[in-house]
Chains A and B, each alone.
Chain A
């Protein structure tokens, strides 16, 4: 019983709001450290790729952005599951705070993918299985954001959005494999970029940058969730106290 009590206490916006406020600068600082280290390794130390020349350096942001776009969707679905199962208020807020960052990651993944594809494949866009799935993932993010924005009642928006996320997360693997199969049938790009053996420094650069993107996403999502909390809980005493206290 006490465990449950603690969980609820932690999940209550009044406790989470100041906690998020203290954590944001740390996550931002860690993101900056990883970013600098990753850029140093990836851009300055890592040798050139003998197949792709210097153009391959785009993977130091392309791969982290793609990972994060998928990971954030999973995290959102995880929050949605918690929210629907335990009816916690925090879950829906976290999912909504993460969505724009996830969508931006998907966009960055597509953008860098296009800029990579142009010199490597000779076109800005190929209907490669991974790029296509990433595009569909962006559509899923847009659908989620459109749905939650269209519902005025915050509780309904949380629950309906959560259900959509769960339906989406079940469908993502099906979509991915069907797109992959479609791609092999239609003989898309024959270039497989992951097959080229990767130098250890390249892998390190990519991992460092992925950490940077991850920490960045947490920091921005926490920033956003704090605003959502103020807005949603504006009639509660703790928000009134904060507003009266002159928080910037």
Chain B
């Protein structure tokens, strides 16, 4: 079972490594969006510190969504996806592998670069740590939920915009608890509660979302 997941994830990672430019673009999108906010709002440290969690998290949601339309589209185009769907092993495991690969190339880099951006917003060391932890814990849920949207919109015209319409409302709980964790740390309340809820959401979505996405893929491939 784990073999299938690992094999698919490994294959997707290898394919992603051939397209490093895409990963870097999404990362720079994140950096640029976050850097635009101080320019729009003004450089006051107090205000920026207050806005930082929300700004960083909204930018992270948008950045992880950039690569979602591609999640199944390439495999769909060259017929790999249909073969995977016909294979004896459950499609849900294949999707789990793809979700893991998607997180490794989209969520993980965001978590690594987020503390650097947090410094722009004058966040304390504690808050930076919690921010990194929250993005690490929360982005897998984004990849999982996003996979459902990507599968539902597979091959549709205007798929990218449609995908964001479907997926962004479902991202709201992750946004609330992700930004809430940093917020709570900034205000000295401690973000552990938020972080554990984020972890719970990630576990639930990694467990369930791939199967829903697999069902959506089967509908799309019929």
A residues contacting B by CB (< 8 A) are 136, 139-140, 142-143, 146-147, 150-151, 155-156, 159-160, 163-164, 166-168, 171, 174-175, 178-179, 181-182, 185
Q: Which residues of A contact B177 (CB under 8 A)?
A: 178
Instruction: With A147-B153, A174-B173 as known contacts, state yes or no: A156 contacts B162, CB within 8 Å.
Output: no
The one of A143, A167, A179, A182 in contact with B212, judged by C-beta atoms closer than 8 angstroms, is A167
Q: How far is the CB of A200 from chain B (nearest CB, A)?
A: 38
Q: Which residues of B contact A155 (CB under 8 A)?
A: 222
Q: What 1/0 flags go to B177-192 for Cβ under 8 Å of A?
A: 1001001100000000
B112 within 8 A of partner (CB):
no
Question: Which A-B residue pairs are the 4 nearest by beta carbons?
Answer: A178-B173, A139-B169, A159-B219, A143-B166
Interface size classification for chain B: 20 to 34
Give CA–CA (A142, B212) in the complex, Å.
20
Q: Is the CB of B219 within 8 A of A163?
A: yes
Q: How far is the CB of B55 from chain A (nearest CB, A)?
A: 16
B215 within 8 A of partner (CB):
yes
Q: How far is the CB of A106 from chain B (nearest CB, A)?
A: 12
The one of B158, B169, B176 in contact with A150, judged by C-beta atoms closer than 8 angstroms, is B158
Q: Is the CB of B219 within 8 A of A160?
A: yes
Q: Is the CB of A143 within 8 A of B156?
A: no
Closest residue to B184 on the A side, CB-wise?
A185
B residues contacting A by CB (< 8 A) are 148, 152-153, 156-159, 162, 165-166, 168-170, 172-173, 176-177, 180, 183-184, 201, 212, 215-216, 219-220, 222
For the complex with contacts A147-B166, A163-B216, 12 further pairs of A-B residues with Cβ separation under 8 Å are A139-B165, A139-B168, A147-B153, A150-B153, A156-B222, A163-B148, A171-B170, A171-B173, A174-B173, A178-B172, A178-B176, A181-B176
Q: Is the CB of A179 within 8 A of B176?
A: yes
Q: Which residues of A contact B166 (CB under 8 A)?
A: 143, 146-147, 164
Give CA–CA (A179, B171) in the complex, Å.
12
Give CA–CA (A195, B133) in the complex, Å.
39
Closest residue to B173 on the A side, CB-wise?
A178
Q: Is the CB of A175 within 8 A of B152?
A: no
Give CA–CA (A142, B162) in the complex, Å.
10
The one of B156, B158, B170, B201 in contact with A168, judged by C-beta atoms closer than 8 angstroms, is B170
Q: Which residues of A contact B158 (CB under 8 A)?
A: 150
Closest residue to B218 on the A side, CB-wise?
A159
Complex A-B: 19 CB contacts under 8 Å: A140-B169, A146-B166, A147-B153, A147-B162, A150-B158, A150-B159, A156-B220, A159-B222, A160-B152, A167-B148, A167-B170, A171-B173, A174-B173, A175-B169, A175-B172, A178-B173, A179-B176, A181-B180, A182-B180
Instruction: With A163-B212, A163-B216, A167-B212 as known contacts, state yes or no: A151 contacts B170, CB within 8 Å.
Output: no
Q: Which residues of B contact A166 (CB under 8 A)?
A: 212
Q: How far is the CB of A118 from chain B (nearest CB, A)?
A: 26
- Is the contact region of chain B dominated by helix, strand, or loop, or is it mixed? helix
Closest residue to B193 on the A side, CB-wise?
A181
Give CA–CA (A139, B169) in the complex, Å.
7
Q: Which residues of A contact B220 (CB under 8 A)?
A: 156, 160
Closest residue to B167 on the A side, CB-wise?
A143
Give CA–CA (A167, B205) in the complex, Å.
11
Q: Is the CB of B176 within 8 A of A136?
A: no
Q: Which residues of A contact B183 (CB under 8 A)?
A: 185
Closest residue to B168 on the A side, CB-wise?
A139
Give CA–CA (A156, B220) in the complex, Å.
7
Q: Which residues of B contact A136 (CB under 8 A)?
A: 169, 172
Instruction: With A146-B162, A164-B166 as known contacts, state yes or no: A151 contacts B156, CB within 8 Å.
Output: yes
Give CA–CA (A143, B164) in the complex, Å.
9
Q: How far is the CB of B165 from chain A (nearest CB, A)?
A: 5
Q: Which residues of B contact A175 (CB under 8 A)?
A: 169-170, 172-173
| From A139, A140, A143, residue with most partner B Cβ within 10 Å | A143
Closest residue to B158 on the A side, CB-wise?
A150
Q: How far is the CB of A147 from chain B (nearest CB, A)?
A: 6
Q: Which residues of B contact A160 (CB under 8 A)?
A: 152, 216, 219-220
